[in-house]
Amino acid sequence: MTSSDSNQASQKTWKSVVKELINGSEQSDDLHIEPIGPQQRAYLNLARLIGLLDGVAVLAVPSAKAKEYLEGNLYGVICMALSNKFGREYSLAVTVNPTIGKRRDEPEESEDAEQQMLDIATPTSGGRGSRGATTKTAARKTPRNSRRGKTAAKPAPTPAAAAPQATTPSVSEPPPAQPPSGKSVPRKSAAAAPDASPQLELDDRDMLTITATGWTTSHTDQADNPVTPQPATTARATLRSREKPAHNPAQDDSLNPRYTFDTYVVSDSNKLPTSAAIAVAEKPARAYNPLFVWGDSGLGKTHLMHAIGNYAQQLDPNLRIKYVSSEQFTNDYINSVRDDRQESFKRRYRNLDILMVDDIQFLQGKEGTQEEFFHTFNALQQGGKQIVLSSDRPPKQLTTLEDRLRTRFQSGLIADIYPPDLETRIAILMKKAEAEQIVASRDVLELIASQFSSSIRELEGAFIRVSAWASLNNQQINLKTAEQALEDLMPEHSVLEVTTDTIMAMTAEFFGFTIAQLSGTSKSRPITHARQIAMYLCRELTELSLPKVGERFGRDHTTVMHSERKIRKELAEKRDTYDEIQKITTMIKNYGRG
């Protein structure tokens, strides 16, 4: 088979996968299959299938923006569609090739041609009528050959010796791989032989682009570092290291596998909610329904909810479980109304076996979302399905929610979590040290536990700070290093309560920006870094939740979560970041002292 024939077979297969993906999202009742809207379709149609390599599907797209969108928004559904089609697990690698889809004699397209295509495909907020008009406009602007299912242009053939061989999807499907961890993967055909598929030649540019490169330079570096070309064998090894199991429709990606009952420290302060959570996981909808867990921020409510989902999934892998924050539920509902997909939204949430909603108090003031959640709650409860809710206050104090919601929350078990005592806090730190493989003596753990008592999040943050300080200074963790690392965080040194306004003001002053720039839309590296540090400090020095911090910066909770995780990682790797946080923290404390 020639390279041209291989490319044609690849694109025919990719179009088939895209078609099945779109049709399946529109017709499926599976709660884990998100609807494929016009914008998603446009990005899928921009992609070209290069080949299948050792359980990795290699796609090429014309721009970095398209690559980022596919990896960030469509990774799971593409892997699931490929896995279902070929009967084995597939992960995804996306490479940028600006020349795909162009003939050699074609003039270069304008830089915003891709954006124009996406603008055409993006639905307006005008409802059903305007949405239909948009779709028709997109259809009129689609090339004629594309409407017939033909490729408008073929990629140039590449030399056979330039790259390793990969399996081309064809009528004879590739043999299924052994699933990891003993999990079974559905197969559509068992008749495929290992050598039944023809070979496809990969272009060297595609293989080299696939190789992942980590960001090892400082955030202050403005110049782009050149990437040294690597042999194809390195790219193959990199692809294998990035492989992920195919998406299982019966499992929910929102569950954090690290949050289990085994990693949850039980004490008198949380014994009741923990016992109830275990009972709910073992007997959904037959023990306590709904289960309402409340307590102050940072006491382990989210951990407990993830543990319920992970344990229930372990006992019965076929259970349909979903964990969402109230903000995620609200955004899903708003998007379904905007895209005229309310029925799909209802199927996703009402066909569940267990629904867990975190921080339910943030539904306040959202009348439309409360109405939809009320009907979702009723549908699940009447269908014998489990509901788990969490809040920072008991149901009777949620006065901003409708009475009919509060009374339903009170119909099940209400369990509260108290701040942990000293011994429990020490046990939490010991488990944290064990999980992170950090050696710390008991007297160090006692020092930290005695100084941070109101929040487990604050407690673990202090421990990570001590660990990072010792690592960056090449010292062992002892009482002296712990006291030095926590000097500015000790509660008794705080003269007045630290607020987000103070943190933003001091961070902006340190980096030479304004508060408006920190909360603005600029994505330049220096401003983004300063904003991430400010978000991290808001989580460390205040008791505000993720949505509240995000609201102050004009961002959603996922942005705050990403920023906190990124800065926490940099603390252990970059001395510059550690010094910046130390200096800004000192500025905040000095500002508080007047």
Q: Enumerate the known binding-site residues for ATP.
A: 298, 300-302
How distant, in Å, are the alpha carbons of 45, 115, 132, 133, 368 from that of 120? 13, 9, 12, 10, 29
Half-sphere exposure of 379 (CA within 13 A, CB side): 15
For the CA atoms of the chain, what is the radius of gyration?
Answer: 26
3-state SS string for 267-298: CCCCHHHHHHHHHHHHCCCCCCCCEEEECCCC
Is the CB of residue 60 less than 8 Å from the CB of residue 100?
A: yes
SS3 sequence, 1-31? CCHHHHHHHHHHHHHHHHHHHHHHHHHCCCC
Residue 277 exposure: Cα atoms within 13 Å on the Cβ side:
31
Question: 389 has which bridge partners?
Answer: 292, 357
CA distance 173 to 194: 9
Q: Are 371 and 338 in contact (CB under 8 A)?
A: no
> CB of 11 within 8 A of CB of 48?
yes
CA–CA distance, 207 with 191 (Å, rounded to integer): 30
Give the three-class secondary structure for 124: coil
Distance of alpha carbon 482 from alpha carbon 487, whole angstroms: 8
**The two three-digit tokens of residue 161, written as one number:** 């010796």
Residues 499, 494: Cα–Cα separation, whole Å: 12
**Residue type for 13, please?**
T
- Alpha-carbon distance of 218 to 231, in angstroms, equals 27
Strands ordered across the beta sheet of 56-61 = 91-96, 56-61, 48-53, 165-167, 199-201
Which backbone phi and psi does 455 adopt, to 5 degrees? Answer: -145, 130
CA nearest to 244, candidates 95, 93, 90, 94: 90
Binding site members: 298, 300-302
User: Do 413 and 291 form a contact (C-beta atoms < 8 A)?
Assistant: yes
The answer to whether the CB of 163 falls within 8 A of the CB of 61 is no
Neighbours of 71 (CB within 10 A): 15
Cβ atoms 109, 265 nearer than 8 A: no
| d(C-alpha 69, C-alpha 41), whole Å | 12
Catalogue the E-assigned strands of 392-507.
413-416
User: How far is residue 275's CA from residue 375's CA, in Å, rounded to a whole number?
Assistant: 29
If one counts every other C-beta atom within 10 angstroms of the C-beta of residue 492, the result is 6
- Letter string b/e over residues 432-466, b meaning 16 or more CB atoms within 10 A of that residue's CB: bbeeeebebeeebbbbbbebbeebbbbbbbbbbbb
